[in-house]
Amino acid sequence: MEIAIKNSPEKLFIATEKQTGKAFAKRFLTSLITLFLLVSLIFVFVRLSPGDPTKKYVSAQLSPELSQKISEKFMLDKPVIEQYFAFLLNSVKGDLGVSYNFRQPVMKVVWEYFSFTLVFSTLSIFLQIIFSFSLAIFVARRKNTFLNKAVSDFSLFIYSIPSFVLGVFLIYLFSVVLNLFPISGLKSLDYDSFSFWGKILDQAWHLALPLITLSAAGTAMFYKYIKEGMDDVLHQSYILNLRSSGVKEKVILKKHVIPNAISPLISVAGIELGVLLGGALITEVIFSLPGMGRLTVNSILTRDYPLIIGCVLTAGIVMIIANYLADIIKIKFDKRLLKGLLN
């Protein structure tokens, strides 16, 4: 009886779950170490780089002692190693310091900008997945046609265009020439006078070009992964058996091809979402949007050291979370991936 229990599938499944838990815990620890090293390197590099954030307080209108007082207040007059250990001690307490420019706690400033990037990136990733899936399924039903090759070539062309080039082109065409969309910003000057739905439409109008710019390359990339995954599945022997058994092509596509081809998409989507949440830098700068990407650039240009660390830390955390979610979703679709996770 004991042997039967030990060798039962249930016992084996429980053991696999325990091993998976250990594997996830190991990956989590590795991610924390990577995040720690990343933040530490950024901390040291930004302080060793040329420039002094207190120099903007030096002018004919300000007291010469003000720059020195600012430097002492933020410990910028101390050795880098002393600043680093003070930063580590405060970080453990959940305090990343005060932004030099905003005069507010770093995490408060980061959250104000990250909330926009969260909505903006989520909309973008949904658009990428919906359009790429729809396009891949549409083309899969028209194999060996001119449309198949044309869509593949066009997606490669879109993917190869740098986002800043696409953004500037869209602004020139639709804002300058056709005057259909605003050039920048998130809302109109008379935004407060609009009704609730009017405000929603106004923001959608302002976000149209930025969303196209941010989503174009990702849509082309997702389309490539989905199409290749579907092509691989369609050439499997069991698909040929299903067709010879008289199963409809629509049923094969829905129940067998798509579920088996979705795994590569989830992996890439996890990385893409992490990158977007970390800050859609170029798009936010081009269209003057109040997001993490623009905040990171501004903090670097103004040498706002605490804010730079806050932005990097936030980007690293969301990247880790996005990849973990992608792994969990992949395992839900295909239990065989547990073996790869344990290795």
| CATH code, domain carrying 231 | 1.10.3720.10
**Residues 159 and 243: beta-carbon distance below 8 Å:** no
Report how far residue 32's alpha carbon sits from residue 172's, in angstroms, rounded to the nearest whole number: 44
pLDDT tens, position by position, 246-268: 777 777 777 777 777 776 677 67
DSSP of 9-22, one letter per residue?
A: HHHHHHHHHHHHHH
Domain count, the chain: 1
pLDDT tens, position by position, 218-232: 888 888 888 887 777
Task: Report the percent of the chain where pLDDT is more than 90.
Answer: 6
Tell me if 160 is assigned to some domain.
Answer: yes
**Residues 275 and 221: beta-carbon distance below 8 Å:** no
**Residues 158 and 220: beta-carbon distance below 8 Å:** yes
User: What is the per-residue pLDDT for 74?
Assistant: 73
Task: Report the percent of the chain where pLDDT is more than 70.
Answer: 83
Under the banding of pLDDT at 50, 70 and 90, the label for residue 8 is very low
User: What is the per-residue pLDDT for 4?
Assistant: 40
Residue of 332, 258, 308, 326 whose CA lies nearest to 87: 308
User: What is the per-residue pLDDT for 212?
Assistant: 92
Residue of 39, 50, 32, 74 whose CA lies nearest to 309: 39
C-alpha 14 chain-centroid distance? 34
Tell me if 7 is assigned to some domain.
Answer: no
Under the banding of pLDDT at 50, 70 and 90, the label for residue 337 is low
Structure pTM?
A: 0.75
Under the banding of pLDDT at 50, 70 and 90, the label for residue 169 is very high
Tell me if 124 is assigned to some domain.
Answer: yes
Residue of 189, 190, 234, 186 whose CA lies nearest to 206: 186
In degrees and rounded to multiples of 5, residue 30 shows phi and psi of -60, -40
Report how far residue 157's alpha carbon sits from residue 167's, in angstroms, rounded to the nearest whole number: 15
Report how far residue 333's alpha carbon sits from residue 17's, in angstroms, rounded to the nearest whole number: 16
Query: Which structural domain range is residue 322 located in?
Result: 113-342
Q: Helices (DSSP H) in 49-105: which residue ranges?
A: 64-73, 80-92
* Mean model confidence pLDDT for the chain: 78
C-alpha pair distances (Å), 46 with each of 41, 96, 107, 297: 9, 15, 19, 13
C-alpha pair distances (Å), 170 with each of 139, 164, 165: 27, 10, 9
Under the banding of pLDDT at 50, 70 and 90, the label for residue 60 is low
Tell me if 275 is assigned to some domain.
Answer: yes
Report how far residue 120's alpha carbon sits from residue 294's, in angstroms, rounded to the nearest whole number: 13
> Which residues does 39 contact at the CB level (< 8 Å), separation at least 6?
309, 312, 313, 316
Tell me if 80 is assigned to some domain.
Answer: no
Select the more confidently predicted residue: 9 or 125: 125
Tell me if 96 is assigned to some domain.
Answer: no
Residue of 87, 137, 100, 168 whose CA lies nearest to 254: 137
Under the banding of pLDDT at 50, 70 and 90, the label for residue 210 is very high
Tell me if 17 is assigned to some domain.
Answer: no
Tell me if 56 is assigned to some domain.
Answer: no
User: What is the per-residue pLDDT for 209?
Assistant: 92
